[in-house]
């Protein structure tokens, strides 16, 4: 990130926090893909009138291992970008 070298430390910290929030929003979106909005919240069936159980709706959306891989990849991207952004400027190297 050549452009962030002239920024102060506080500005770079704000950039890292903003990047983390953006990646968090992206992660929530990616993890919710394939899940109907009616299952995300509230009732999906009324117990007295319906024989559908909660176990029948259990495998909606991504598998747990796929969600884990998405979050691990996003955390790795955030960590690597944060290290690069917050790295102290190299002295003695011409730009």
Domain that holds residue 74: 19-86
Which tokens belong to 94? 């011409």
Calculate what percentage of the chain has a pLDDT beyond 90. Answer: 48
Is there a domain that residue 2 lies in?
no
Q: What is the pLDDT of residues 34-62, one digit of tens each?
A: 776 655 555 555 556 655 555 555 567 78
Q: What is the DSSP letter of 37?
A: H
pLDDT band, very low/low/confident/very high, at 95 (cuts 50, 70, 90): very low
Is there a domain that residue 13 lies in?
no
Count: domains in the chain: 1
Is there a domain that residue 91 lies in?
no
Q: Where are the alpha helices (DSSP H) in 5-63?
A: 9-32, 37-40
Is there a domain that residue 7 lies in?
no
Is there a domain that residue 8 lies in?
no
Is there a domain that residue 76 lies in?
yes
Is there a domain that residue 59 lies in?
yes
Which tokens belong to 48? 């007295």
Q: Is the pLDDT of residue 73 over 80?
A: yes
For residues 33 and 54, what is the distance between their CA atoms, to the nearest angstrom? 20
Is there a domain that residue 81 lies in?
yes
pTM of the model as a whole: 0.68
């Amino acid at each position: 990130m050549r452009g962030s070298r002239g920024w102060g430390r506080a500005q770079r910290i704000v950039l890292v926090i903003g990047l983390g929030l953006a990646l968090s929003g992206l992660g929530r979106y990616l993890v919710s893909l394939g899940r109907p909005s009616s299952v995300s919240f509230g009732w999906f069936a009324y117990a007295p009138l319906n024989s559908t159980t909660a176990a029948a709706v259990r495998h909606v959306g991504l598998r747990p291992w796929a969600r884990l891989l998405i979050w691990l990849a996003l955390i790795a991207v955030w960590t690597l970008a944060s290290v690069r952004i917050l790295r102290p400027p190299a002295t003695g190297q011409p730009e």
